């Protein structure tokens, strides 16, 4: 037989595109359109419906950036259409190649009832099926003219990312506003041909099935009269019945499709627009669920559910009904799909507490899966948190984006720092916006790395970010792929149904230990420094507010601020979303975030001040309140008293220029350029700084990325570096050394100080930053031979190599830490601690002169200056605090990390304050002391082993209690709790390395 395959395939493409698809709507009449442009921010629905619109024609421009326009469309169904299916086709000016990321609409009836969303791939509104003819049609469209930020030429700087700079030029052209007849036979024929054509293209050319499909398609095309597509579509479909009904082979890969719409809680749009994106999508999905009995939709992020409940009660009612039917599924059990690298221990725990509690309170549903398809890597402490929240599964997609190394598994158990293992799945479809295209389904089957031992994978299906979710076309394609030869099988299932099947068939999958590092988007650890500082400060202020309010409530009857703390936690958790905290959102988002953090700080400081004054009582005695989890200057953790008197620090001139700081523990030499050339540990008789090198060295790199400007840092940035060694001033200021440097258009002022009795050099850095596409680092070259170093993460720390033996190690050229980085040789180490930075790198070289020892350099990432999506990223003044801690064991790193983030507070009062809870082992760190969330007055204490070893600890309670129980993060009794030994007001526990424990005390 002659090979005419290419001829038939080309024929299919053209006939489908130019003849069959246009025949889906064979008849149409225009609607009359009028519009009212809201003058400012979005208005309530009632106001939009009541406004007086002005006529507008198709082809007219509309929509200033970030504006809202209310369209009224009216018309009459022709009598001649009686008995037919009629839809309104409402094209606001969509680009079908860009689902989401542009204008969107939500359709209402005149009484304010929402109908469905309008999106590039979802422009129809059903009028009747069938119609009687003569029906009067009136619909309103709340249309958002969100500008296109990420355009066909992506990453170009734009002022459209903030309403204050976006201008008022109309963005869109009204394209189509019609009533049209839907020919369902032609619509079905389109889907038949799409599914078979897409499947055919994925099959081997020499496979019999591919040729069977080709011949069937050819017969169907022969059966179509191109001058009467609508009259011949049914006959054409009959030519495809046989190939569509041939079942899949028994060994076919099995895909669990889950309706999905990944909606970033803010990104290239502000938070207020996400509220509307969620309303549009949920309206779409509840309507689709009513039409498609097999379809299942899952939505994560309790915050987005809460927005629907608060802002769109009429949509919320439909959502609640669909949830009760088991088809609209709460997923993930987190407040938002947060970043997991940077949130602190308690914040990461509270993501699950607030997310799971919302779904339990609203629906009685407990999520057993964490759902994080788009998060930029996963910290090694997360498995324990997932388990402690009562969950056991994790889904993500983003690791497939890694640039260098391909992850070796799609289904595996992920082991965290304490040994907890979580059953984890990476969908091999490699997208969280699956649209049921043949190439996606075939890729999932081919790509699946666990063939031979497992055959189930998951496909999140639907357009996200305002694309409207799953479409009826996707559902129709999935129906054809349910059991089709040559394809993986597809069935709509809930996340729970998928995970139960996957775990049952693969009970002992391979194990991956440690962080799930994304080899991409590394610069999200540094971009938008003010947002990151706001997060870090808020986390620690919340710790203080809970601690002192709980103590004051127990001791003095102080009214515990349940509602305020609850609201503030939710706000902080929202801003940990994986495009806000990472700094990858538009200028508007970060401008609002700065204002929000300032307001939260004021509220939390007021709570802390009121609680501390209640505890201190009346009097003239100066008390120091210690919020850190370790005793400081004689003040116990969680207590207040007059601090112990420390020694003195000498500040003298250095031979050759510069200054020397010395306090009996450390001697620090600062040269005439303001560089630290020596940090000598007097007790250990050991130098910290590598020979011939200088610490406190600011280094500037060019930072022009190949793409993803705010997200990425490409390794070639290291090829060029400028050491900022010239100083304008190196002078004594009080008991510190002040250093001033200028470079480019920027200026840096530093204060270096050494407090009495402390083995840490404090470095306060102020940068007035006005660079563009530059990367600023602060370097510490250390005389330490270490093949690995420790980075703090949630509820512990973990180690990364300092070498680059493998491509996996080399790819981690920028990584995350929380409060400290620690390196050590046996018996001696060094820590670098910080109050607000996350990104860093650690490298090692062997010296070729002198003693030929090893120099290990820790560099802290301070600032970047990408121009997309915020062209003014981080311009202005920033303040950072770091400390170099020579002679530090891991325990010193832990203690100093807490100390630099929780400065002492001085309050005048009459009495010392004893801690509510004390621990006799520094290795056991208390991360939260609070009253129980249920308002019972019970005291909740959370702590963990922080050194990575075993600990036997005694907890002493500073209040009488009737009973104690071990709980999960939601403060419910823990099913697998270990024994707690009680003697009076003391408890004795044994903790495994990094073990996390939550105790709940019922007060006497």
The residues assigned a catalytic role are 374
Tokens of 415: 């082991």
d(C-alpha 725, C-alpha 698), whole Å: 8
Contact 273, 144 (CB under 8 A): yes
Helix, strand or coil, per DSSP, at residue 900: helix
Closest CA to 384 of 921, 993, 1000: 993
User: CA 378 to CA 338: how far, in whole Å?
Assistant: 10
Report the relative pairing of strands 393-395 and 369-371 from DSSP bridges: parallel
Q: Any residues with CB less than 8 A from the CB of 614 and at least 6 apart, and which?
A: 552, 556, 558
Cα atoms in the Cβ-side hemisphere of radius 13 Å centred on 722: 12
Q: Which residues contact 197 (CB under 8 A, 6 or more apart)?
A: 9, 12, 13, 16, 213, 217, 438
- Give the CB-side neighbour count of residue 481, counting CA atoms within 13 A: 35
Burial 311-342 (b: 16+ CB within 10 A, else e): bbeebbebbbebbeeebbbbbbbbbbbbbbbb
Instruction: Give which of 775, 793, 770 is closest to 710, Cα–Cα.
Output: 775
Q: Using CB atoms within 10 Å of the CB of residue 169, give its burial: 0 to 12 exposed, 13 to 18 middle, 19+ buried.
A: exposed
What count of other Cβ atoms lies within 10 Å of the Cβ of residue 28? 15
Q: Which run of H or E residues covers position 563?
A: helix 562-574
The span from the CA of 28 to the CA of 85, in Å, is 12
For residue 849, the 8-state DSSP code is S
Radius of gyration over alpha carbons of the chain, in Å? Answer: 31
H/E stretch holding 539: helix 529-556
| Helix%, strand%, coil% for the chain, nearest 5 | 30, 30, 40
For residue 5, the 8-state DSSP code is H
Residue 948 vs residues 534, 796, 797, 993: alpha-carbon distances, Å: 29, 7, 8, 4
- From the list 294, 233, 285, the residue with the least C-alpha distance to 114 is 285
Residue 533 CA, chain-centre distance (Å), reads: 17
Paired tokens of 61: 């421009």
Look at the block and give the residue holding tokens 């009832």. 113
240, 217 Cβ separation under 8 angstroms: yes
284 sits in the region (left: phi over 0; alpha: psi -120 to 50; else beta) called alpha
> Whats the size of the chain, residue-wise?
1004
For residue 623, give Cα distances in angstroms to 554, 556, 904: 20, 18, 10
In the numeric block, which tokens belong to residue 889? 């064991």
Longest dimension (CA), the chain: 103
The DSSP letter of residue 913 is B
Is residue 974 classed as helix, strand or coil in its secondary structure? coil
Q: Is 401 left (phi over 0), alpha (psi -120 to 50) or beta?
A: alpha
């Amino acid at each position: 037989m002659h090979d005419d395959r290419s001829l038939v395939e080309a024929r299919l493409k053209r006939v489908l595109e130019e003849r069959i698809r246009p025949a889906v709507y064979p008849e149409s009449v225009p609607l009359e359109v009028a519009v009212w442009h809201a003058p400012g921010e979005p208005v309530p629905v009632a106001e939009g419906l009541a406004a007086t619109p002005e006529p507008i024609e198709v082809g007219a421009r509309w929509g200033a950036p970030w504006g809202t326009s209310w369209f009224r469309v009216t018309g009459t169904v022709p009598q001649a259409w009686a008995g037919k299916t009629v839809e309104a086709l409402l094209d606001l000016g969509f680009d079908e190649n860009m689902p989401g990321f542009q204008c969107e609409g939500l359709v209402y009836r005149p009484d304010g009832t929402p109908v469905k969303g309008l999106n590039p791939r979802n422009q129809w509104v059903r009028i009747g099926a069938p119609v009687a003819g003569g029906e009067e049609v009136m619909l309103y469209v709340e249309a958002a003219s969100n500008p296109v930020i990420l355009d066909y030429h992506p990453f170009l700087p734009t002022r459209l990312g903030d309403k204050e700079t976006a201008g008022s030029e109309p963005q869109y052209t009204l394209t189509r506003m019609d009533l049209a007849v839907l020919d369902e036979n032609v619509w079905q024929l389109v889907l038949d041909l799409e599914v078979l054509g897409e499947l055919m293209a994925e099959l081997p050319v020499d496979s019999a099935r591919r040729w069977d499909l080709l011949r069937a398609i050819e017969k169907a095309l022969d059966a179509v009269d191109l001058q009467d597509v609508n009259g011949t579509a049914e006959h054409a479909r009959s030519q495809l019945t046989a190939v569509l009904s041939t079942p899949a082979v028994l060994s076919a890969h099995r895909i669990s499709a889950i309706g999905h719409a990944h909606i970033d809680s803010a990104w290239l749009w502000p938070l207020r627009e996400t509220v509307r994106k969620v309303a549009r999508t949920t309206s779409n999905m509840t309507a689709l669920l009513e039409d498609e009995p097999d379809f299942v939709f899952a939505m994560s992020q309790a915050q987005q559910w809460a927005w629907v409940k608060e802002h769109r009660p009429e949509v919320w009612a439909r959502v609640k009904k669909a949830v009760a039917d088991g088809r609209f599924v709460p997923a993930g059990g987190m407040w938002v799909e947060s970043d997991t690298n940077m949130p602190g221990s308690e914040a990461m725990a509270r993501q699950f507490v607030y997310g799971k509690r919302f779904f339990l309170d609203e629906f009685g549903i407990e999520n057993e899966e964490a759902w994080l398809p788009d998060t930029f890597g996963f910290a090694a402490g997360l498995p324990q948190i997932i388990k402690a929240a009562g969950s056991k599964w994790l889904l993500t997609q983003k690791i497939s984006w890694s640039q260098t190394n391909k992850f070796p598994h799609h289904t595996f158990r992920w082991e965290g720092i304490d040994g907890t293992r979580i059953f984890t799945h990476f969908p091999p479809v490699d997208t969280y916006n699956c649209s049921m295209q043949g190439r996606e389904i075939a890729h999932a089957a081919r790509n699946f790395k666990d063939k031979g031992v497992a055959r189930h994978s998951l496909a999140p299906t639907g357009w996200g970010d305002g694309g409207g979710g799953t479409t009826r076309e996707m559902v129709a394609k999935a129906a054809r792929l349910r059991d089709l030869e040559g394809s993986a099988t597809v069935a709509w299932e809930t996340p729970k149904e998928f995970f139960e099947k996957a775990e049952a068939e693969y009970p002992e999958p391979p194990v991956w230990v440690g962080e799930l590092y994304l080899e991409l988007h590394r610069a999200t650890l540094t971009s938008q420094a003010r947002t990151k500082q706001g997060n870090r400060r808020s986390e620690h202020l919340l710790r203080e507010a809970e601690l002192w309010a709980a103590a004051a409530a127990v001791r003095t009857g102080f009214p515990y601020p349940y509602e305020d703390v609850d609201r503030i936690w939710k706000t902080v958790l929202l801003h940990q979303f994986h495009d806000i905290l990472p700094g990858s959102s538009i200028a508007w988002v970060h401008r609002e975030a700065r204002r929000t953090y300032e307001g939260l700080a004021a509220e939390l400081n007021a709570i802390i001040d009121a609680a501390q004054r209640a505890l201190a009582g009346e009097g003239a005695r100066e008390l120091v309140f210690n919020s850190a989890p370790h005793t400081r200057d004689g003040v116990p953790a969680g207590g207040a008293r007059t601090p112990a008197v420390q020694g003195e620090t000498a500040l003298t001139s250095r031979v050759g220029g510069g200054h020397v700081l010395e306090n009996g523990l450390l001697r620090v030499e600062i040269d005439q350029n303001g560089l630290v050339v020596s940090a000598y540990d007097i007790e250990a008789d050991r130098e910290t700084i590598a020979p011939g090198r200088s610490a406190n060295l600011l280094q500037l790199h060019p930072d022009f990325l190949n793409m993803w400007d705010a997200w990425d840092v490409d390794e070639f940035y290291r090829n060029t570096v400028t050491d900022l060694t010239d100083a304008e001033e190196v002078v004594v200021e009080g008991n510190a050394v002040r250093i001033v440097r200028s470079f480019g258009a920027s200026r840096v002022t530093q204060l270096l100080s050494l407090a009495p009795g402390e083995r840490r050099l404090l470095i306060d850095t102020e940068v007035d930053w006005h660079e563009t596409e530059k990367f600023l680092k602060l370097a510490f070259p250390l005389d330490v031979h270490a093949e690995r170093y420790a980075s703090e993460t949630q509820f512990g720390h973990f180690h990364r190599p300092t070498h680059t033996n493998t491509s996996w190690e080399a790819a981690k050229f920028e990584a995350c830490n929380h409060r400290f980085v620690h390196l050590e040789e046996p018996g001696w180490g060094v820590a670098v601690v910080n109050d607000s930075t996350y990104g860093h790198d650690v490298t090692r070289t062997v010296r070729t002169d002198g003693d030929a020892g090893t120099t290990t350099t820790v560099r802290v990432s301070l600032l970047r200056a990408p121009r997309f999506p915020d062209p003014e990223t981080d311009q202005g003044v920033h303040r950072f605090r770091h400390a170099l801690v020579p002679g530090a064991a891991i325990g010193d790193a832990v203690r100093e990390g807490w100390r630099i983030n929780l400065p002492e507070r001085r309050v005048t009062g009459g009495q010392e304050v004893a801690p509510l809870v004390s621990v006799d082992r520094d290795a056991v760190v208390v991360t939260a002391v609070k009253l129980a969330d249920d308002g019972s007055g019970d005291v909740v204490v959370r702590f963990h082993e922080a050194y990575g070893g075993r600990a036997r600890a005694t907890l002493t309670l500073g209040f009488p209690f009737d009973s104690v129980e071990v709980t999960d993060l939601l403060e419910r009794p823990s099913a697998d709790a270990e024994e707690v030994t009680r003697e009076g007001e003391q408890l004795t526990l044994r903790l495994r390395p990094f073990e996390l424990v939550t105790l709940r005390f019922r007060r006497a």
